[in-house]
A and B are shown apart, each in its own frame.
Chain A
């Protein structure tokens, strides 16, 4: 998967949206159908050696939340205190497989060909998930 973002915030948000588009029938209005099922606000903290590793940690978190808890996240509020530290506030949505067909099972994020690059337009990430 290729993920783009003009800013770190956009890259991290698009990483989540890209992941959800792989595992669910995610699209405009998807979360809307879950209005009553929206759950609590979660706060997550990550730290890593560099921004690339931070992005990797974020994707791992998304895989775990979805695979183990059937939870998706939305309404992201990222706070990057440095290139190596991130605090995040987001809203949990319970994925209901009776209403939405899970598409593929993603086992994990891999380091294979994984990279985040920065160009004049912003950031570009390459990630391969193990399915």
Chain B
């Protein structure tokens, strides 16, 4: 047998002991003691209700929270949001902050293959009643105009010089190229571009894989959804975000496409080789990492920031394409249609942020994998208009039920490095979801509920059927109950395009 001494398989007996291992702190907090597994440097903390916890334990996610606690330089807790589910190395819904000044590491697996996968929410001044009679042709027009699905290339071509500009400028490049407005930048996390991107740290293979994919939605769980506001929880915040009942909004979920996948793939190979060099022992090779201040760490950060910027440029281009469809369809300019960006937020990223640790100000490297930044009112990184309310936290659910808009809180800043959940979280594996859809037409089932879904492949819709996800209401209730976001509004889907 060929085996690697660094790798240990997950043990089924771990799965059976979680209820006895987890220490209930309160209704929404469950601790994994640091003694659970040899080598854990900090405890784990899962934010979830008891109802959600029973679902979370169905896969290996809890074990993965404990594995993340092995990372050198990890600070506080290995954190997990209530939408946590099994990922590669890191669970999806996991958060880990490391202290570079104490040998803290950066782990590409803590960001994921789809670097800066994220969501944006665009408002319109259209009412649900105006859209409903023409819903199918509207969704069809979006489906025709916006490239989506496996292998679908886009029409936005960039030469080598422009490729570098995309990687350095992110959304700013897209706005200069005519795909958006300066106001869009104002309402995008990090204004749509991370500083410190290094195009020379990116492999030729990543450039090659990203070519032709700008302005494409992708496949899997990526989507563009037309929704309407069906419930408002916080009138004041909703007003500041520009939302009212019955209003139509667009939610868009995509990332850095093949470019980001290749950056992560290249970096994992690099980090895998670095483990021995830095004498780092981990329970799962997918957590491979290197000190932030190492050659490998710097190289990954430079490339990861390029991929993050690529993703912001991509979502900005997709927004431009969606605006074109609405302009053509309704015969009014996108400005007349009130198509303003509420916010764009990353949920697969690592960023350097300042926190008070043990009475000292520390700059930490915060990994968020399937977790959304949720900064509180008054935070200097927020757009001026939102300074009183807190950062918009966009939480897509599934295509049959709801999505949410929430706001960040001080509690999140103090407990979760300013982070909350990123969605409903998978309940069924893709394989199990396809199996559960046999003999059914998910599109027809959704249409019976008044939701029009258009997708390139039937399998993709089956994988993304509502039953494949936890109920987002439960997830949002948990983060709201824990105080790490404040619910603002709930949206219902009208129609969606998918890969």
Contact = CB atoms under 8 A, between A and B. Distances in A.
A70 B151 contact: yes
Interface in A84-131: 97, 101-105, 107-118, 128, 130-131
B303 to A, nearest CB: 15
A111 B289 CA distance: 13
Residue among B3, B88, B89 facing the most chain A CB atoms (10 A cut-off): B88
A117 B272 contact: no
A78 interface: no
B29 interface: no
A40 interface: no
B218 interface: yes
Interface string A24-53: 000000000000000000000000001110
Interface residues of A, number: 32
B205 A68 contact: yes
B465 interface: no
A115 B5 CA distance: 12
A67 B258 contact: yes
B220 interface: yes
B284 A111 contact: yes
Contacts, number: 85
A112 B285 CA distance: 7
Interface string B260-298: 011011001100100000000000111010000000000
A23 B457 CA distance: 13
- Range of interface residues on chain B? 35 or more
B457 A110 contact: no
A50 B89 contact: no
Nearest to B456: A101
Contact of A60 (B258, B265, B284): B265
A31 to B, nearest CB: 18
29 contacts: A50-B2, A51-B2, A63-B265, A67-B258, A67-B261, A68-B209, A68-B258, A69-B208, A97-B151, A102-B150, A103-B457, A103-B459, A104-B150, A104-B219, A105-B150, A105-B151, A107-B264, A107-B265, A108-B113, A108-B265, A108-B268, A111-B7, A111-B268, A111-B285, A111-B288, A112-B88, A112-B284, A130-B113, A131-B220
Interface of A: 23, 50-52, 60, 63-64, 67-70, 97, 101-105, 107-118, 128, 130-131
